[in-house]
Amino acid sequence: MNDIAVDVLIIGAGPSGCVASSYLKNNGISSKVVEKSKFPRFVIGESLLPRCMDHFEETGLLDCLMEQQFEIKAGARFLKDDIVCNFDFSKKHTPGWDYTWQVPRADFDHTLAKEIVKKGVDVSFGHEVTAVEFDENGHSTTTVKTEEGNEYKIRAKFIIDSSGYGRVLPRLLDLDKPSTLEANSAIYTHVKETERPEGVEGTLITFDVVKDEVWLWVIPFSNGNTSIGFVGPTEFIESFKGTNSEKLKEMLKISDYYYDRLKDLDFLFEPHIIKNYSKAVKQLYGKGYALTGNSAEFLDPVFSSGVTFATESGVKAAKLITKELNGEKVDWEQDYTGYIMKGVDVFRTYVSEWYTGNLQKIFFHRPENPVIKEQICAVLAGYVWDETNPFVKNHNRLVKTVAKVIDMENERAY
């Protein structure tokens, strides 16, 4: 293959790479997407947040997704013991989308990828980035290997690294750093549900807290399949013996709520295990590149923030690159790192406080406080930049304080 020169090279055609390339295309910037896999391909991350609808709308990718009729996610249910905590996205502090979808990612990502190709973005599937070199201006020369084993080079003024767990630039530039979150792991598969419960019970996304630090996700799709997965401390997941199927079958017994519904269903594929999934990096950008999506930070699946951060950062990086290529000055530290980390830090608090138990105290405390609930609901919908929301602005302090008040109330009651 001949060598290529583009303004922007995008590594990976997941949601992050797709929104970035679509934004660039709409704004007249030349880009090329290089994707290692052939689509459709499986990836985990099936519960979306309303905030990401803004990104698909802004980049012109919403209509193709609407046509797919994915299962509507209008909120989320959390269960613990006999207590149910239902969040309804139409009752949230911040204005914005009040629904999103539960999606089999193979279909979802394929829809996005086909749409960017239709828009005229140059995408090469089955092509893997293997090496990148930068010159002193930040211009790069990237080596790409095709499925047939041929190599070619791409010269680019910018790279958006949207390679997810491929983590191409963090690996090549030594940008990884340990996550500050506890070491957690997950085991998951899909099942075909032949006899789903009638009505909303059959389609509701649920997080079943089976132990303080261990929870089961149940994510029904509109195609009749359901994603199920356990998340917990790595040593908990490792304490189960046998094949991955045997481990997951055994774990299902811990869920009083779901065991009967799920126990006899065949797994559609041997369950996958991802160990110690939280990832962090030393920096989100450098001269000539930006890291987006999972290639940058991944916290935890508990609040389904992964895809939304992937699209938030993909659109943001594409906007800043467009500005810079149009001769405007960009303050990457403030406008990219500062902005993205603001949202990441809010979610990091919620994830940490979920596993300390403080947030669970608030979710499962009765009676519920409707104002607090709407403010937390806005965070769970992904609107984590809205500083009119005290649970965003004072995230660090407020979750702890409210949990403490609940503790004091409980002490007084006994």
Interface ranges with ligand FAD (CB under 6 A): 11-17, 34-37, 43-48, 128-129, 162-166, 168, 186, 274, 277, 293-295, 298, 301, 304, 306-308, 310
Closest distance to ligand FAD from the beta carbon of 388 (Å): 24
Other Cβ atoms less than 10 A from the Cβ of 193: the count is 18
Whose Cβ is closer to ligand FAD: residue 21's or residue 375's?
21
Nearer to ligand FAD, 288 or 314 (CB): 314
Give the nearer residue to ligand FAD in terms of CB position, either 132 or 376: 132
Q: CB 101 → ligand FAD: shortest distance, Å?
A: 11
Based on CB atoms, which residue is closest to ligand FAD, 14 or 361? 14
CB nearer to ligand FAD: pick between 281 and 398? 281
Nearest approach, Cβ of residue 11 and ligand FAD (Å): 5
Whichever of 184 and 322 has its CB closer to ligand FAD, that residue is 184
- Minimum distance from residue 324 beta carbon to ligand FAD (Å): 22
Query: Which residues sit opposite 154 in a β-bridge?
Result: 4, 142
Handedness of CA 16, 18, 21, 22 (dihedral sign): negative
Smallest distance, ligand FAD to C-beta of residue 237, A: 11
Q: Are 254 and 211 in contact (CB under 8 A)?
A: yes
Quickly tell me which residue has 């923030």 as its tokens. 305
Beta-carbon contacts of residue 234 (< 8 Å; ≥ 6 apart): 183, 184, 185, 275, 276
Specify burial of residue 102 (Cβ count, 10 A radius: 0-12, 13-18, 19+).
Answer: buried
- Range list of β-strands (E), 241-284: 272-274, 280-281
Q: Closest separation between CB of residue 64 and ligand FAD, Å?
A: 17
Least Å distance between CB 407 and ligand FAD?
30
For residue 165, give both structure tokens: 């767990």
Give Dmax over CA atoms of the chain in angstroms. Answer: 76
Measured in degrees and rounded to the nearest 5, phi and psi for residue 190 equal -115, 150
Q: Which is nearer to ligand FAD, 282 or 393 (CB)?
A: 282
Up-side HSE of residue 177: CA atoms within 13 Å toward CB? 8
User: For residue 70, what are the contacts with CB-CB under 8 A and spacing of at least 6?
Assistant: 101, 102, 103, 107, 108, 221, 222
Q: What is each CA distance from 164 to 13, 309, 310, 327, 408, in whole angstroms? A: 9, 12, 9, 30, 43
Instruction: Output 306 or 343, the one with its CB closest to ligand FAD.
Output: 306
CB of 193 to ligand FAD, least distance (A): 18
Closest distance of CB 414 from ligand FAD, Å: 37
CB 388 within 8 A of CB 93: yes
Phi, psi (degrees; rounded to nearest 5) at 163: -85, 10
Look at residue 370 and give its three-state secondary structure: helix
DSSP state of 295: G
Min. distance of Cβ 296 from ligand FAD in angstroms? Answer: 8
Query: Between 223 and 369, whose beta carbon lies closer to ligand FAD?
Result: 223
Nearer Cβ to ligand FAD (47/389): 47
